[in-house]
Amino acid sequence: MPHTEIQCRVRALDHLVLTVKSIPDTVRFYTQVLGMRGEQFEVADGSRRWALLYGQSKINLHQKGREFEPRAAHAHPGTADLCFLTDAPIDAWMTHLATHQIDIEDGPVERSGAIGPIMSLYLRDPDDNLIEVSVPQV
């Protein structure tokens, strides 16, 4: 039987984990400001955890000091830099963020996204993670 080489490569991001100071504050920000869905889920050991769902991905949340194993070697609030794509126009986001009293740190500014040019706004979440909200310019 001939040997067939399989290409080992990732194809998508399923989830990432954020270590946060306050799960309720984080869930409130990401649901009210970014339109994600907060959801508790049960894991194999019966414990319940929080996640933020959007598109086909999710962000699992770990409370600082009560992280689940395995975990990042140096998990700390405020160490992430995340870019999220949106279909809403940048002007609508500027109005929406002002309504929620969220400061825009930078933007609108042109950037290079994974598949082409994007127009971005930068803001901070409750843990001071840098959040980039971007509209593809394709």
Catalytic amino acids? 132
What's the gap between Cα 85 and its chain centre?
A: 10
